[in-house]
A = this chain, B = another copy of it.
Amino acid sequence: MRSNHTSGYGWTVESIMKKAMVIGATGFGGLGLIEIIRRHPGMEITQLVDIKDTGKNVSDLFPHLRGFCDLTIRPPDGIDFQEIDIAFFSTPDRAGMALIREFHKRKIAVIDFSGDFRFGTVRDYEVYAANRGLEKSHLAADLLPEAVYGLPEKYADRIRSARIVGNPGCFSICMILGLLPAAESGIISSDTIIGDGKTGVSGAGRNSGEANLYPQRHENVNTYREGTHQHVVEVENVINSLGGKKSEILFVPQIVPLNRGILTTMYMDIVDGYDTGRMLRVYRDYYNNKPFVSVTDKSPNTADVRGSNRCLIRPIVDPRTGKLVVISAIDNLMKGQAGNAVQNANIMLGLDETAGLDVPAFYP
C-alpha cells in the first residue's frame, strides 16, 4: 500500500508504509508503540485493538495523542486481517496465546509482549507459568518451535525470518545485554551470578493495582519476589546456551520511585587475567556494530536512557575482590518493551534496524 508521508518541508514523499496493528492499545506497551511508530518513516499504525474502550477514539482517552493518532479502538473480532504487515500483541500473559494462531495461519508477522512465546519448549513455559502463578497448559504449543526470542543483539538472523517473536521481559533484556559479552567469551566462572535490579513503577503496567498507588510508591523503595522473579528463566536460558560455564541467576528486584527506568547491577566471579581496561575492550568489541548498546567507563544513569532505545553498560573488574561488576541501564518501556519490539519489527520487515528509534534520551 502506498501512502503519503509529508516532510517538514512540505515535500511529499511517496513511499510504501508498512501497516501495523496494535492489540492491547491502551496499556503502556500499546501507547509506547503509538508514540514510536508515529515518528517511524516506514511504518504506520492502521488498527488499534483492545477488549475495553472499544468504539472510542484513542485520543479521547489519551489527550496527548490528539492530532497524532486518532484511531478508533476495535474489538478483537473487528480485526481486518487483510491490512496488516505486522501485529504487535501488547497483551498480558495468555491473552493473545490462541489468537496469535489466526495471524500465523495468514502468515502475518507477530511480536508478542508477554511470556507466551519467549520459550522454545513447553517445559520452559511451564517453569515460567509456575513462577507467575499461571495455568501451565500452553494453548499453542505447536507454534513454540517456530517462535524466536526477540533479542536482536543476539538473534537478529533468526528474527529476520521469524513469523512469531517473543519480546523479552524488561529485566531480562537489561541483564542479558549486561552479561552477553562476558558469557560468550567464557569469562564468567561463577556458579551463581547475582543480579540486583531496580525498576520504575511503570514496569507493573498501567492498571497495576493498589500496591502501586502514588502514596505507596512515592518516597519508598522495597524488594519483592526475592530470588523468584519470573524473568530469571529467560536470562538463564540465553546465558547458559552459549557453551560456557553454566550459571544460576540469583535475582532480587526492587521498585524505586521512577516512572521509567531499569538499572541492574550484576556480580560474578571470572577467570584470571582481566582488569577493567581489558574487560571494557571485550565489551566494546562485542557491541561494536550494535546501534543501541553503549559501553561506558562512567557510572550509568537511568536518566541517560530515558525515552531512548539505548542500553548503557559499564563493566568493572573490582581490584580488591577480583569480581566482575556489570551495571546496565535501560528505559523499561523502550529497550525493555515497545522500543525493542519496533527494533524486532524493523528486522522482520526488512527495514533499517534503527528506523523510528534514533532519538536520544530526553533531558531532564
Contacts and interface: CB of A to CB of B under 8 A. Distances in A.
Contact of A265 (B216, B223, B301, B325): B223
Given A263-B223, A302-B222, A325-B250, A256 B198 contact: yes
A130 interface: no
A360 interface: yes
B207 A8 contact: no
Interface stretch (A63-71, A136-144, A163-171): A63-71
B219 A258 contact: yes
A294 B66 CA distance: 9
A53 to B, nearest CB: 13
Interface of A: 7-10, 13, 15, 28, 31, 34-35, 38-42, 62-69, 191-192, 194, 196, 198, 201-202, 206-208, 210, 212-224, 226-227, 248, 250, 252, 254, 256-261, 263, 265, 267, 294, 296, 298-308, 310, 312, 314, 316, 318-321, 323, 325, 327, 329, 346, 351-352, 354-356, 358-364
Contact of A320 (B41, B65, B250, B323): B250
A361 B31 CA distance: 11
A214 B201 CA distance: 7
B221 A201 contact: no
A114 B354 CA distance: 37
A227 B63 contact: no
A247 B338 CA distance: 43
A223 B65 contact: no
A186 B222 CA distance: 28
B364 A218 contact: yes
B325 A42 contact: no
A362 B65 CA distance: 9
Interface of A is mostly: loop
A179 to B, nearest CB: 16
Given A201-B215, A218-B257, 13 more contacts: A8-B356, A34-B360, A63-B312, A198-B198, A213-B213, A214-B257, A218-B218, A220-B302, A220-B303, A221-B329, A227-B320, A260-B364, A267-B267
Contacts of A327: 223, 226, 252
A33 to B, nearest CB: 12
Contacts of A306: 64, 219-220
Contacts of A354: 8
Given A215-B259, A257-B257, A362-B362, A207 B210 contact: yes
Contacts of A196: 196, 265, 267
Given A214-B201, A215-B206, A320-B248, A224 B352 contact: no
B9 A64 contact: no
Contacts of A221: 198, 256, 258, 261, 263, 301-302, 329
A174 to B, nearest CB: 12
Contacts of A316: 226-227
B198 A218 contact: no
A202 B222 contact: no
Contacts of A224: 299
9 contacts: A8-B356, A9-B15, A9-B352, A63-B301, A69-B360, A196-B267, A207-B210, A218-B219, A223-B299
